[in-house]
A and B are shown apart, each in its own frame.
Chain A
Amino acid sequence: MKSFKTIIDGLKRGPVDCVGIDFGTATTKLVRLRNAGTDVQLVAAEILPPSAGDLVIPPRVRAHYAGITTSRGHAITKLLTFPGAIDSAFQARLRKSLGLNDEDDSRISYRLITEGQGRVESRALAVSLDHATADPLLQHFSSGIPVPQSLEIASLSALTAFEYGPVANAHGQAIGLIDFGTTKTTLSFFYRGSLVLMRQFDFGTRSLFERVETALHVDTQTAQGILADSAFDVSELLGDIMNPVINQFVVSRDFIERRENCSDIKLLATGGVALSKAAMQEIEQALSVDIAVWNPLEGLTIAPQALAPEIEDQHWRLGAAIGAALAVLEAS
C-alpha cells in the first residue's frame, strides 16, 4: 500500500516555472524560465546591483521555485576519476578528495557522471561550499516564495546551460568552454555529450582589469574599454598575465585529445575576458583555434521583452542563472 507521503507527492506537479538566481561577487543575476513542453522559454531576466539587505526579487522574474547558484565564498569543484564503481569508501574519502580538512565547515555533495565497472573508470563531479557562504544565501528563502530547490556552484551551473545548448548541438563532437569568472576561470571539455575534464584556475576578469589599470594608470571602465576595442596594443601586458593560464589551456586540450582520442575540439568562451578581442587573440593564437563567444541564451525561446534594454549586451552574464533554473526544470 502506498504511503500517505507517496500519494501526496504524486499529486504534486513538478516546477514548470522557475527562477535561477546567481549570487555573484558583484551582482545578482535572475533568470526566469518556463518549461513550455517542447522547449524552454526565457520569461524575464534581471541583473540586480549588490545589496547588503534582503533580496527583493522583481515581480517579473518571480516564480514559485528557485534554483540558487553562487560564485561567492570558498567553493571547490573537482572532477574526480577513479577505478571501479562507486562504493561507500568513495563517500568516506570525498572530503579528503576535495582537499578539505575535518575541521572545514562546508557542505559537500557530488554527482556521478559515469559509473565504471572493473577496470573502467568512474567519474564524479564533487563540490564543496563553506557554510558561511551557503547558509546566509538560503536564509533569503526561509519562508514564502520562491522555494529553493537547489544550491549550486556558479561555474557548474553555467556548464549545465552550456550542456543544454552547444553540447547538445555538438552531436558527440568534442567541445570545450572557457568560462572567465571574476576571480576564477573554469575550463571544461565535453566529449560524446559527457563532461570529460574540468579545471579551475585562479585567474579572472578582476585580476586582468587590475593589471591593465595598474600598468596604464586608468580606471576600471577605461581598462574595460581598452580590452574590448583593442585601442592600445596590450598584447605584451596580456601575455605576462595570461601566459600561465593559456599554457594550462593548451596542456589540458592536448591531454583530452590524447586521452579521449579526439581532435578538432571546438572551443567557446564566456565571461568578461571573452569580450576582450586582445585577450581572445592571445588564446586563439596559443591554441591555434578560433574561439567563439558562447551566448547562454542559445537553445532558449525568448519571450517578448524578456530582456530589459540595459542588459541587452550582457547575455554572457546570465549563464549560471540559466543553468540553475534549467537544472530545477530538468529535475522535475
Chain B
Amino acid sequence: MSLSVDLITPEERRSASAINVKSLSRIGAIILPTLIIFAMGHLALKGMLTSSRLRVLESRWESAEPKQKQSLKLSKRLHYNMQTATELDAWKTSRIEWHQQLRAVMETAPTSIQATMLVIAANRNAAAPASPPTRKFTLNLEGKTSGERAMLFVESFKHRLETHPATTGIVEAVAVANYGADISTSAGEFDRVFRIECQYRKRPEETTQ
C-alpha cells in the first residue's frame, strides 16, 4: 500500500486512452448531428431531384400522350390489316385452279362414261376464327355408264383421275363412293350409275401455316 495522498480532483484526472466516454461523447456530438444533417440534406436533395425529374417526365408525357394514343390506334389498325392480309393470303393460298381440275376430269373420263352431275363443295374451318382460314374441297362426280365392263370403266376413270398430274399432290383421296344399277325407268340391264368422290387436301397445308 502506497502512502500516496492524492490532491488531484476527478475533473483534473484525464485518460491517456484514445477511448473514453468524454472523447466518444465529443466525437458523437460532432459526428451524429453531421450525419443527421447530411442524411436530411441528402433526402431533401433526392426529393428535389425526384420532383424535378417528375416534372420533366410529366411534361414529356403531356407531349407524348397524344402520340401514344395515335400510336395505339395505328397499332390496332395495323393488327387488323395484318389479320386481313393474312386472311386474304390464306384465301389466295387455299384457292385451287379449278379449270385444271375440270380439264383433268375431261381428260381422264373414258368415252363410255357420261357425267350427270359435278358438285364441288368447300368445307371452311370455323373452329378457330382467329387463325387463318383453311378450306377443304370435295369434288363429287356422278355419272352413268353401260356395258358388261361398266365397273372396269369406272375403276379406270378413278385410277386415271387419281394419277393425273393436275390432281397429284392436291387430291388426298379418290374413291368410288357409290356404284350401282341405274334404276331409272329408261335404264337398260347393263346401265349403271356411279359417284366418284375426290377429297382434296386441306388448304392451305397446316405445315405451311
Contact = CB atoms under 8 A, between A and B. Distances in A.
Interface of A: 4-5, 8, 11-13, 15, 64-65, 67-68, 107-111, 113, 125-127, 129, 134, 138, 145-153, 156-157, 159-160, 163-164, 195, 323-324, 326-327, 330-331
A147 B15 contact: yes
B19 interface: yes
B7 interface: yes
B4 A145 contact: no
A159 B4 CA distance: 9
A293 to B, nearest CB: 21
Contact of A134 (B7, B17, B24): B7
B13 to A, nearest CB: 7
B21 A5 contact: yes
Contact of B12 (A8, A138, A164, A330): A138
Contacts of A126: 5
B14 interface: yes
Contact count band on B: 10 to 19
A125 B7 contact: no
Contact of B4 (A8, A65, A134, A156): A156
B interface, over-half SS: loop
A150 B8 CA distance: 6
Contacts of A129: 7
B111 interface: no
B119 interface: no
23 contacts: A12-B15, A12-B19, A68-B8, A109-B6, A125-B3, A125-B5, A138-B8, A145-B16, A146-B16, A148-B12, A148-B13, A151-B8, A152-B5, A153-B7, A159-B3, A160-B2, A160-B4, A163-B2, A323-B3, A324-B4, A327-B3, A330-B1, A331-B4
A164 B20 CA distance: 31
Contact of B7 (A13, A151, A327): A151
B19 A65 contact: no
A8 B7 contact: no
Nearest to A190: B3
B3 A111 contact: yes
Nearest to A194: B1
Contact of B6 (A11, A12, A150, A159): A150
Given A127-B7, A148-B13, 12 more contacts: A8-B24, A15-B16, A67-B4, A68-B8, A110-B5, A111-B5, A127-B5, A147-B14, A148-B12, A152-B6, A323-B2, A330-B4
Contact of B19 (A11, A107, A159, A327): A11
